[in-house]
Structure 1
Amino acid sequence: MTATPGGAAPARVRLYSRPGCHLCDTARTTVAAVCAELGESWDEVDISTDPDLLARYGEEIPVTHVDGRQHDFWRVDAGRLRAALRPA
């Protein structure tokens, strides 16, 4: 994972997406809302700009990772994402 701008800590949630993906648009809205609610950071990576990511996630996007581990693909469930972001 890369750091967020300004040398801040890496985002807890990463959304892998590509332009023109309607499921990605829905996932982005869900991720943004849950992260805002919980005060968590998130970022987004366009897989169409990286051949390795396109090969890895091309058929599963959107894909979300939480703390560097794959969490969901195709759809983001807000309740499941909230639970993954809560402290143990």
Structure 2
Amino acid sequence: MSTTRLTLIGKPGCHLCEDARAVIDAVRAEPGMPEVELEELSILDDPALHDRYWEEIPVLLINDRMHTYWRVDPARLRAALGA
């Protein structure tokens, strides 16, 4: 079984990005959650990410597919991860 990959796209100093990270970390830490890898990318480090997502950060991708932007809902994330 492959590990689910989450990608959080944001930028330093973004309070919504910090909120999203906190929700993701809390959900990942819950008992019974499947193994999940988290990668964080900054729109400040990648012009293509900046051009695509600057109005939507934070953006959460699951296995490279858009899951949500602006706010991460814990119940929706749990459901997407199969918990």
Q: Which residue of 2 aligns with 1:61?
A: 57
Report 1:31-42 matches (<5 A).
Answer: 31-37=24-30, 38=33, 39-42=35-38
The structure with higher relative contact order (CA 8 Å, sep 6+) is 2
Who is 1:14 aligned against?
Answer: 7
Per residue, is there more helix in 1 or in 2? Answer: 1
**SS across alignment from 2:52:** helix
> Is structure 2 residue 36 aligned with structure 1 residue 43?
no
Separation of aligned partners in 2, 1:36 and 1:72: 20
- Where does the alignment leave 5 or more consecutive residues of structure 1 unmatched? 1-8
Normalising by structure 1, we get a TM-score of 0.81
**Aligned residue in 2 for 1:80:** 76
Give the RMSD, CA atoms, in angstroms.
Answer: 1.7
Question: Tell me, what secondary structure is at the counterpart of 1:28?
Answer: helix
TM-aligned CA deviation for residue 11 of structure 1: 5.5
Query: What stretches of structure 1 move > 3 A for 4+ residues in a row?
Result: none
